[in-house]
Structures are given as C-alpha cells and as structure tokens.
C-alpha cells in the first residue's frame, strides 16, 4: 500500500523558474538543452537557476555566457543575457556590474575559456575584487572544439593535442587557477567543488548559491570552480564520467574552500532599484536575431546531384555524406562535402551538404537538395519543403507526417535503423539509406562506392556490415518502386 | 485520508520527452527506485522511469539530472513542511 493519490503530494523539486519554459531560441527540441546526456553543464545550470530562484533575483540577474559548449547559456536562462568573446566574460561582467550596480552579474565560463585565453581577464577581475560571481566549469578539456588539451588537462590525460597523454616536460602542469586566485588580496570567496557523487553535488549546490548570495549582499568577488563531467569527449558513459571526477580528477584538483572572507568584509550597499527587465535588452543594445538562412547556390550548370543529410549527432550523418563524396571523387567527379553542426557533440543536430558535379562546384552549400536524407522527424520538418520538385526524400521513420507530405517528390519512408538492426547493428542504418539513395540516383558506379567504403571504414567487421547494409538499401528501393508500379 | 500510514513520502515524475537517458538519476537514487525504460522516446533515447514505489522524496535525482525539467519530485503534503529546503546528501552514497 505505497501509493496515495497524486493530490496528496506537492512538488518540492521541479523545473526552476529562472529557466525559460520553452527554449524558443533553439530551432528544434525546444524542451531539451543542447547538452549531451550526462553533461555537467546541465547540472551546473540547474544549480544556478535554483540559486536565482531561491534568492528571488531573476529580474535583476545578468548572465554573461562564454565561448565553449555553454555558449548558448542564454537560450536557457530567463534573465538578462550577454554573450562575451572567448575568455572575456569577466571583463564584460565588470562593465555590466559597474554600469548597473544593482544587477546581479554572473560570469559563466569553461576551463579553456577561463584558464587559457581568458587567464588575464579572470586574474584582473579577481584582483580588482569586482563584486561579481564567477561559475567556473572545469572539465579538463576544450570540449566544444572536439577535445584539445586545456591548461587544466591532467598529467597523462589523452587529448587530441596530447595523444600520448599530457607530459609535464612538454605541456607543463595542470593549472590550479583557484589556488592562484586565492593568493590575491581581493577575492572574498573561492571554493572548488565537484559533481562526482551525491555528496559532492549537494555541496556544489550550496557553494553556487553562496557565491551568488555574496554578491547580493555586496561582499565582493566570488568564484566557484566545479569539476564537471564531459562524457562525450572523455569517451565515457555519464555514470563513469561522474565517478572519474571523484576518483581521478579530484586527486589533481582537491575540493576545498580556498578563500572565505565573507565574515570579515564590509558589505558595499547596492542601489535598491534598477531598470525594468524589459529595458535591459534596449539598454544593452541587444535584440533577438533570426537564424541566417544559407544563401541559394547560384550557377546550376553541370550540377549532377545536390544532397542534404540531416539528423542527430551519432546517427552517422557525416559518414554517409563522406562515403558519397569520396565515391564521387573516385568516379572522377567534382565533389564537395560540408559538415554543419551545432556546438554540441552528440544529441544535437548534425547535418551535411554534399555536391557531386561534372563542372567545378561554386558553393558547397546545398539550399535546395535533389535528395534529402532525414534521419528523424525534426530534420524532416526542417528541410522537407526545400527539396526540388522531382527529387527524393529518404526518411528514417514509418510514416511521413501529414504536413511533410509532397506530391511532387519521391518519398521513401522506412525505419532504416531497424532494418540495419536486423542485419546486426542499427548504427548501419545510414548505409541502408545510402544504398537506397545510390539506387535511386544511379549517378555512381558500385566500384567507386566500394572503393570509398574501403577507404573510410577501417574495421573489417563494419566494412562487411556496411556492404550488406548498402545492398539491403538498394533492394528496399527496388521493392518500393515495384509497389508503386503494382498499385498504379 | 491515508489508512495504512505506510504511504511513500515521495513520488517521482519523469518527462519522457526531456529525459536523455543518461542514468545519473538511477545511479544517485538511494533506495534504487528509478529504472530505465526499454522503449525509446521520440528522439531515440531510452528514458528513466519511476519504479512505482519507495520514493522518499529526497530530491537528489532532481539535482543530478542535467535537464531542467526532466525530473519532478513530489512529497506527501504532511511531510513538506517538516523537511528543510534543499537537497541533503543521502545516506548510503
Ligand atoms: C577567439 C577564439 N579563439 C578560439 C576559439 C575556438 N574555441 C571555441 S570553444 C574553445 C574552447 C572551449 O573550452 P572550454 O572553455 O573548456 O569549454 P567547454 O566546451 O569544455 O565547456 C575554443 C578554443 C574561439 N571560438 N574564439
Ligand atoms: S561535449 Fe557534450 S558532454 Fe562535453 S561539455 Fe560539451 S555538451 Fe557537455
Ligand atoms: S526523490 Fe530520492 S528517493 Fe525519490 S526517486 Fe529521487 S532520488 Fe530516489
Ligand atoms: S538524470 Fe535526467 S536525463 Fe538522465 S536519465 Fe535521469 S531523468 Fe533522464
Ligand atoms: Mg572545458
């Protein structure tokens, strides 16, 4: 007898008010963040949002977003927002705070942002004792750009720029920014916390709140460094990444309160009233701007095939395009392959533009594809209208939603990932689609496709699987054409 | 209202569209009352779900979850006032 009615229960932990209800500024997936599953940025965002709620300061908070995976923090926080150049957030925060002393200014930064390119800005803001709050998310790597070493990378840690592991003799030692800043006179509060387990998370939440509260009380410069998992670049499961923070990262960066002068300093009184929230964008001169549409490719002469492949990261979108382009090259065509993806590594949109032509290619952008490959529904929605009449849409799904139906293009809708599952691994779904695409367009000889595949797919197991997937895709297309003939 | 007096102190709601299946909440839950679904959601993720009983309402799953509103924790009304605000580090972690 464990469950009463829902009415007897009250929400005690729910979506913080400080977040937008819907992330309108994102083009799609508007109820999710763009962060990978298990990303520490999401957890730290939530702690900051909770603190803003608890302190009742939403209408006077101004967040300065960095460059890094958290570049879009302003998508999420329903507060005043400024996005600073790489590493410059503490300088921007200084300006915002000094010109709007009644506002609560938070500089949110990654470790590359704060400890590498922005090392001067943080040092001097701390040394001036600016009455700002710095949230320093240390994941020991440049994540957004794909995993280059940061000053904070651990000794021995493998990154794309330290492939044999960080070596002190060559790359120096992990930089302890919080300890460095704690040698200065002015900072009031500096603490390093972690997201390594429940206990650490609870402590991190308290520290984030304190760092904001200090500013509300006018005490001075506060910084919280959060050791934060990046499962994607670390190539770990979210749970393993969490444990790595506690078991490995913490050994280099011990958790500690490095400075606490909150009891000794005299609060500087902040003016009581500030401008209305609606006024802030105008005062700061920031306005919303729409997403820029890629301009149309101009000269069409000699173009054989323009393809757009769209889906989520991890669905093999880029590889599909690469095999196609590489095969075109092998067949003696001019080709271009242009990947385009958001700052996220996984879970976000990923798409690529491929052109195969006899004449030189003017622009690698494909605004109006002859062939659209949509790996999921959001991608289909986004691009279905752009396909040229007479073209093809390959959709990884059972049925095409009504609003995407078109009479003037061919559509093949199949759960390609499931088809690949039957062949042994759902991840070969991209190659099933490529098979169908090759069969439909008939621009490339099979030998060129084989050569491209052999070049790009190194594992023999995957090569066999991909070859079978391609063949199955061709078969699916032929079957679908027959169905049409029979019906007709 | 409650007859047995054994009613769970807490309850969990998981938004199936927002959850990304990272499993951090499952790892964090002291009484182990969160599971992973077999089914994939709209975006192709397996998601977390409440096992249906045994939640203490501690709220730690909420704090470890990276998505703003994937998790909502509820507490039995009579216990809300009694417990202090915020998340406590849970025993057994
Ligand atoms: C002036 C400038 N230099 C370099 C870059 C490229 N860049 C983008 S993000 C980044 C590093 C981000 O690392 P970090 O601050 O640790 O953030 P994370 O993605 O790890 O959260 C770099 C070097 C840039 N955008 N601008
Ligand atoms: S790569 Fe993914 S997991 Fe890593 S910091 Fe960026 S969003 Fe988070
Ligand atoms: S509130 Fe606590 S007990 Fe309930 S599901 Fe979440 S972690 Fe488990
Ligand atoms: S922590 Fe959040 S996103 Fe991760 S599995 Fe649990 S509910 Fe889903
Ligand atoms: Mg980083």
> Taking the domains of chain B in order of start, what are their residue ranges?
3-83
The residue among A3, A9, A213 with the most chain B CBs within 10 A of its CB, best to mutate, is A9
Name the β-bridge partners of A392: A371, A410
Sheet holding A189-194, edge to edge: A80-83, A61-65, A104-110, A133-138, A222-227, A189-194, A256-260
A43/B64 CB distance under 8 A: yes
* Residue of minimum CA distance from atom 24 in ligand 1: A86
Q: In chain B, which residues have their Cβ closer than 8 Å to the Cβ of A22?
A: none
CA distance B30 to A421: 35
Which ranges of A313-369 does DSSP label H, i.e. alpha helix? 317-330
Task: Report the chain A residue with the minimal C-alpha distance to residue B18.
Answer: A32
Task: Considering chain A, tell me which residue range(s) the CATH 3.40.50.970 domain(s) occupy.
Answer: 12-260
* Shortest Cα distance, chain A CAs vs residue B14, angstroms: 11
Q: Indicate whether residue A39 lines ligand 2 (CB < 6 A).
A: yes
Tell me whether B14 touches chain A (CB under 8 Å): no
Confidence class of residue A300 from pLDDT cuts 50, 70 and 90? Answer: very low
**pLDDT at position A281:** 80
Confidence class of residue A203 from pLDDT cuts 50, 70 and 90? Answer: very high
B65/A237 CB distance under 8 A: no
CA distance A63 to A45: 11
B24/A38 CB distance under 8 A: yes
CATH class label, A12-260: alpha beta
**pLDDT at position A432:** 96
Task: Report the chain B residue with the minimal C-alpha distance to residue A229.
Answer: B66
Task: Considering chain A, tell me which residue range(s) the CATH 3.40.920.10 domain(s) occupy.
Answer: 304-487
Confidence class of residue A297 from pLDDT cuts 50, 70 and 90? Answer: very low
Least confident residue range of A79-83, A146-150, A214-218, A310-314? A310-314
**pLDDT at position A298:** 31
**pLDDT at position B5:** 55
Q: In chain B, which residues have their Cβ closer than 8 Å to the Cβ of A377?
A: 42
Ligand 4 centroid, distance to A202 Cα (angstroms): 17
Q: Indicate whether residue A372 lines ligand 1 (CB < 6 A).
A: no
Q: What is the largest CA-CA distance in chain B?
A: 42
Q: What are phi and psi of A334, to 5 degrees?
A: -80, 140
Contact B21, B90 (CB under 8 A): no
Confidence class of residue A222 from pLDDT cuts 50, 70 and 90? Answer: very high
Q: Which residue has the tokens 């580090």?
A: B89
Taking the CB of residue A272, how many other CB atoms lie within 10 A of it? Answer: 6
A9/B77 CB distance under 8 A: yes
Tell me whether B36 touches chain A (CB under 8 Å): no
Range A304-487 classified under CATH 2.60.40.1930: no
A11/B72 CB distance under 8 A: yes
Q: Which residue has the tokens 């109006």?
A: A368
**pLDDT at position B93:** 39
Least confident residue range of A31-35, A360-364, B50-54? A360-364
Q: Indicate whether residue A147 lines ligand 1 (CB < 6 A).
A: no
A250 contact partners, CB below 8 Å, separation of at least 6? A194, A196, A227
Q: In chain B, which residues have their Cβ closer than 8 Å to the Cβ of A43?
A: 63-66
Least confident residue range of A235-239, A298-302, A443-447? A298-302
* Shortest Cα distance, chain A CAs vs residue B78, angstroms: 8
Kindly calculate the radius of gyration of chain A based on its CA atoms and give it in whole angstroms.
26
CA distance A97 to A84: 14
Contact A315, A335 (CB under 8 A): no
Task: Report the chain B residue with the minimal C-alpha distance to residue A349.
Answer: B43
By C-alpha distance, which of A281, A286, A264, A258 is closest to A220? A264
Q: For residues A260 and A378, which has the higher predicted lDDT (pLDDT)? A: A260
Tokens of A438: 């090759």
Q: Indicate whether residue B36 lines ligand 4 (CB < 6 A).
A: no
ipTM: 0.86
| Low-confidence residues of chain B: pLDDT under 70 | 1-5, 79-93
Range B3-83 classified under CATH 3.30.70.20: yes
pTM score of the predicted model = 0.69
* Residue of minimum CA distance from atom 2 in ligand 4: B65
Q: In chain B, which residues have their Cβ closer than 8 Å to the Cβ of A345?
A: none
Contact A153, A162 (CB under 8 A): yes
């Amino acid at each position: 007898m464990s469950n009463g009615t829902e009415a007897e229960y009250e929400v005690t932990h729910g979506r913080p008010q400080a977040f937008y209800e819907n992330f309108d500024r994102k083009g799609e997936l508007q109820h999710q963040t763009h962060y990978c599953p298990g990303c520490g940025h999401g957890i730290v965002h939530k702690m900051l949002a909770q603190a803003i709620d608890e302190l009742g300061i939403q209408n006077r908070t101004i967040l300065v977003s960095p460059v890094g995976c958290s570049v879009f923090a302003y998508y999420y926080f329903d507060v005043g927002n400024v996005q600073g150049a790489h590493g410059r957030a503490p300088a921007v925060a200084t300006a915002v705070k000094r010109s709007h002393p009644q506002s609560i200014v938070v500089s949110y930064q990654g470790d590359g942002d704060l400890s590498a390119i922005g090392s001067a800005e943080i040092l001097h803001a701390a040394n001036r004792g600016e009455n700002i709050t710095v949230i320093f998310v240390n994941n020991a790597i440049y994540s957004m750009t794909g995993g280059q070493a940061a000053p904070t990378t651990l000794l021995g840690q493998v990154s794309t720029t330290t492939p044999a592991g960080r070596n002190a003799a060559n790359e120096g030692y992990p930089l302890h920014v919080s300890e460095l800043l704690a040698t200065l006179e002015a900072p009031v509060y500096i603490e390093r916390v972690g997201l390594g387990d429940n206990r650490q998370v609870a402590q991190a939440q308290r520290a984030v709140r304190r760092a904001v509260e200090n500013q509300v009380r006018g005490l001075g410069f506060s910084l919280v460094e959060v050791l934060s998992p990046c499962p994607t670049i670390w190539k770990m499961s979210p749970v393993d990444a969490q444990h790595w923070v506690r078991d490995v990262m913490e050994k280099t960066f011990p958790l500690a309160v490095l400075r606490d002068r909150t009891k000794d300093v005299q609060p500087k009184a902040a003016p009581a009233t500030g401008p209305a929230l609606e006024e802030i964008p105008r005062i700061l001169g920031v306005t919303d701007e729409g997403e820029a549409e890629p301009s149309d490719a101009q000269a069409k002469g000699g173009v054989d095939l323009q393809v757009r492949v769209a889906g989520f990261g991890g669905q093999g979108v880029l590889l599909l395009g690469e095999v196609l382009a590489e095969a075109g090259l092998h067949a003696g065509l001019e080709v271009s392959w242009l990947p385009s993806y958001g700052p996220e590594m996984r879970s976000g949109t990923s798409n690529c533009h491929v052109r195969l032509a006899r004449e030189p290619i003017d622009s690698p952008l494909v605004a109006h594809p002859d062939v659209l490959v949509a790996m999921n529904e959001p991608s289909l929605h986004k691009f279905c209208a752009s396909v040229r009449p007479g073209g093809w849409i390959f959709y990884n799904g059972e049925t095409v939603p009504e609003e995407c139906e078109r009479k003037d293009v061919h559509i093949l809708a199949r759960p390609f990932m499931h088809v690949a599952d039957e062949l042994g691994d759902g991840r070969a779904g991209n190659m099933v689609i490529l098979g169908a695409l090759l069969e439909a367009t008939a621009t490339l000889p099979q030998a060129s496709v084989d050569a491209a595949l052999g070049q790009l797919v190194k594992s023999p197991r995957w090569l066999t699987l991909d070859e079978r997937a391609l063949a199955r895709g061709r078969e699916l297309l032929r079957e679908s054409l027959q169905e049409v003939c029979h019906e007709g | 209202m409650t007859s047995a007096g054994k009613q769970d102190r807490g309850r969990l709601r998981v938004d199936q569209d927002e959850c990304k299946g990272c499993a951090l909440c499952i790892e964090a839950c002291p009484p182990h009352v969160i599971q992973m679904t077999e089914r994939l959601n709209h975006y192709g993720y397996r998601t977390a779900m409440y096992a249906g009983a045994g939640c203490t309402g501690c709220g730690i799953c909420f704090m470890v979850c990276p998505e703003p509103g994937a998790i909502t924790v509820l507490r039995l009304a009579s216990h809300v006032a009694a417990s202090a605000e915020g998340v406590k580090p849970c025993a057994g972690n």
